[in-house]
Structure 1
């Protein structure tokens, strides 16, 4: 895949900014926890009228890829807008959370009866969180024989209960996922030199996990829980993405870097 035909389109408040017409760069992280990720997007030389229409809490989306093959890499809420002058240019930096600010979502001493299943608590807490559930699949549905009392940050409660089930809980593109990263009907992306692999995968090992850090030309299909069939000189096999980031600019980086674990 040659590194040409880059496409980035930023959409906010019924406005669209294409890399064809604007200098744009950004970093879009993704991972497998419930803390909202904060992306940073920079646009050059926007008009005062345009700037006045970009506000905190507005929904912002980004499509990216190559001509003929483009997809969503960010769907979130603006947390900060800052414009500063640099020489003859004005640079607007927009920070975007991949969900609404969830720090105020708390519950106090919600008691569940003896024998309550984790699935019931998780679905109740998901309602408190207010995010749509994209996937819900537990490794095991833990039963709280002594009952359970939920108190504190809803995100922390969901993380702890999901962990009791041996399951990950995370937010991606404004939706809640409760599922095992290594199970599920995810699309499989075959990554090789021919489809954008850059350099050699770097192995890592920690706790119960082994895997590789891989780098490719920007690929919107790669995100949390994506399945990668890697073909490289050092390793060939299936991996499951745990975290990473997309980085893009007009003339510099246009890459996806991912940390992927083995089955």
Structure 2
């Protein structure tokens, strides 16, 4: 088990040509939000006390950011956000401290502008469809990451494709029982009731769990120390005895009309559905806020928004 102490943070701002600046020596505050649905994740980052020349140069020249965070132990340090700059903002927090804010989004240019214009020949498969979609996304810097099994269906007729790549990806996901998302400029396609491959991260007080996870209408919520190894669609394991059961209000009806809560997993296995990284290199915050869903489909009575981003039509 790694020791989660001595924080480490790296913020690189750069351009499309590979030029950039490392700003980790400055005070940095950040909030990174990641989702399992098609909506691009985003980051809000505040950099303190840059010189005017440096701040002006950053605003004029740089359009991409890479944020890494964790601890001195390299196994607990890694990328938590990569994306395109949407807005810079200069300001003053008090008479002494100035700041430069950046709002960035993950893969939003591909999401908003990638267009498929191709005809697939008779005998094509779902993999061929994905390849055509991937080629459109790649023009905007988004490549394929993990792709679940899409099946062996062979289509007897040719298929003309012209339109937004994201729309074709939604149709593909619906047809194959998967859902997709963009994470750190890579497309993830995961089966609805499965997670990314790999061993589940055991989350307890020894590995950074803070307080007691709680059952809510939106899922099982938990807070832990910031850890880049916990990823969207990845698995975590929490002792089911540690999860606090939801308390229904006195006005909630019993029986069939009562709203169904996401279940507490008997085996403690959960999939990460939403994730927020919160950090301050000169302050107390250094957390992951998680929304989790049981890996057992029977525990999940509500298919959206927790289990199926495909219901979010354009």
TM-score, length of structure 1 as denominator length: 0.85
Give the equivalent residue in structure 2 for 1:245. 276
Shift of 1:40: 0.6
Cα offset, 1:171, TM superposition: 0.8
1:233 to 221, 235, 242: 242
Report the CA distance shift for 1:255/1:183 in structure 2 as closer, same or farther (over 3 A).
closer
Higher strand share: 1
CA distance in structure 1 between the aligned counterparts of 2:81 and 2:190, rounded to whole angstroms = 21
Aligned to 2:201: 189
Among 63, 69, 77, the alignment partner of 2:68 is 63
- Out of 211-220 and 231-240, give the one that drifted further: 231-240
Q: Which moved more, 1:145-154 or 1:125-134?
A: 145-154
Number of residues of Structure 1 aligned to a counterpart in Structure 2: 256
Q: Deviations over 1:72-117 (max 9, x none)?
A: 1112222211111233221111111222512121236x55456642
Deviations 1:194-239 (A, max 9, x none): 1111222222467xxxx52221111111121111111352365111
Larger displacement relative to structure 2 (212-221 or 113-122) = 113-122
Alignment match, 1:150: 161
The equivalent residue for 1:180 is 191
- Structure 2 gaps of 5+ residues are 15-19, 244-263, 296-314
User: Per the alignment, in what secondary structure is the counterpart of residue 36 of structure 1?
Assistant: coil
Residue correspondence of structure 1 range 7-26 to structure 2 within 5 A: 7-13=8-14, 14-18=20-24, 21-26=25-30
Separation (CA, whole Å) in 1 of partners of 2:101 and 2:154: 47
Higher Cα Rg, which structure: 2
| 1:44 positional shift | 0.9
- Residue 149 of structure 1, CA deviation: 4.6
Corresponding residue for residue 172 of structure 2: 161
Q: Using a 3 Å threshold, how does the CA distance of structure 1 residues 3 and 203 change in structure 2: closer, same or farther?
A: same
Pairwise CA RMSD: 2.6
SS in 1 for 2:169: helix
Q: Contact 2:195/2:234 (CA < 8 Å) preserved in 1? A: no
- Cα gap change, 1:46 to 1:136, in 2 (>3 Å): same
Among 84, 97, 108, the alignment partner of 2:105 is 97
- 1:258 matched to which residue of 2? 290
Sort the Cα spacing of 1:175 and 1:220 in 2 relative to 1 into closer, same or farther, 3 A.
same
Q: Quick one: distance in 1 between partners of 2:99 and 2:236?
A: 36
Greater helix share, structure number:
2
Unaligned runs of at least 5 residues, structure 1: none
Q: Is the contact between residue 122 and residue 162 of structure 1 (CA under 8 Å) also seen in structure 2?
A: no
User: CA offset at residue 172 of structure 1?
Assistant: 0.6
Q: What secondary structure does 2:238 align onto?
A: strand
Alignment of 1:111-126 (within 5 A): 111-112=119-120, 116-126=124-134
The alignment partner of 1:201 has SS state of strand
Question: What whole-Å deviation, never above 9, does each CA across 1:161-208 have from its counterpart, x for those lacking one?
Answer: 1121011211111111122262442342110011111222222467xx
Conservation of the 8 A alpha-carbon contact between 1:186 and 1:225:
no
* Structure 1 residue matching 2:32: 3-state secondary structure: strand
Q: CA 1:228–1:154 in structure 2 vs 1: closer, same or farther (change >3 Å)?
A: same
SS at match of 1:52: helix
- Shift of the 27–179 alpha-carbon distance from structure 1 to 2, 3 Å rule, reads same
